[in-house]
Amino acid sequence: MQYSLKQIQFTVFILFVLLSSSHNANSQEVVNSQTALEQALDEHKGEVVYLDFWASWCGPCRKSFPWMNTVQEQYKQQGFSVISINLDADKMLAEKFLIETPANFTVIYDPKGKIAKHFKIQGMPSSMLIGRDGKIKSRHTGFFTKKIPEYQQEIEQLLNAIEVK
């Protein structure tokens, strides 16, 4: 299934409307995480985006951070960004994690997991590669160090892809 950026924006807007009219006192933060993602995607429009879902208690997530830092630096000039979604229910644990394993990429907090649920995340960690046209090109469940060459190849292919309008 491919989502265009417009579809993502539309869904987020609908969710915003529904959630703001709900009685749930936590709806404020939920809306914020969705709009935060929307804003981040907007900022990086036209770039290849690596969307990563992680949590402090997830071991393979810890392993993926050094690599994500590396590719963020390596491909930044070519128009590439890593946007990560943190799914810790307790933000303090995420902050503690980031002290030990710093990130030089965007971190959006989604403690209620609304973004994860929207994207039907199947396992931890999960990642999606969004092409320059705003469409999701690939999804991965889990992070495997032996697959790093494969992950990088996918990024490079998208960076070099000629956009067909």
Partner 1 sequence: MMYKKIQITLLIPILIGTTGCASLGVEPWERDLLSKKEMSLNAEPIDAALDDHIYFSKEASSGGKGFGGGGCGCN
Partner 2 sequence: MKNKIDKTNIKAALTIATTALLGTNNLAQAESTSTSAEENTWEFDSAFLFYSEVDRVSAGEAIFNAKKTFDNEEVLNLKLTIDALTGASANGAVAQPTVQTFTRPSGNGQYEIAPGDTPLDDTFHDTRVQLNGQWTQPLAPDYTASGGVHISKEYDYLSLGVNGNIAIDFDRKNSTFSAGFSYFQDTFTPEGGIPKPFASMLIGDSNDPSWDDDFAKTRIGSEDDKSTADILLGFTQVINRRMLMQFNYSYSMVEGYLTDPFKILSVVDNDGAAQDYIYESRPDSRTKQSIYAQSLYHFDTTVLDVSYRYMWDDWEITSHTIDSRLRIPLGDSFGTESYLQPHLRVYQQSAADFYRPFLLESDPLPAFASADYRIGEMTAFTVGIKYGMLVNNGHELSFRLEYYRQTPTDAGFNEPGILKDVELYPTVDAIIAQVTYSF
Residue 125 Cβ vs partner 1, minimum distance, rounded to whole Å: 7
**Residue of 10, 96, 117, 153 interacting with partner 2 (CB under 8 A):** 96
Q: What is the DSSP string of 59-88?
A: HHHHHHHHHHHHHHHHHGGGTEEEEEEE--
- The residue written with tokens 């208690």 in the block is 57
Which region among 8-16, 72-80, 130-138, 139-147 touches partner 2 (by CB under 8 A)?
139-147
Interaction partner, residue 102 (partner 1, partner 2, none; CB < 5-8 Å by kind): partner 2
Residue 131, amino acid: G
Residues lying near partner 1 in the complex (CB under 8 A) are found at 53, 55-61, 87-90, 93, 113, 116-117, 121-126, 142-144
State the CB neighbour count (10 A cutoff) for residue 120. 9
Three-state DSSP at 115 gives: helix
Cβ contacts of 119 within 8 Å, gap of 6 or more: 53, 126, 128
Residue 45 touching partner 2 (CB under 8 A):
no
Residue 163 Cβ vs partner 2, minimum distance, rounded to whole Å: 26
Residue 76, amino acid: K
**Residue of 48, 106, 116, 125 interacting with partner 2 (CB under 8 A):** 106
Which lies closer to partner 2 via its Cβ, residue 79 or residue 113? 113
The strand ranges marked E within 6-74 are 48-54
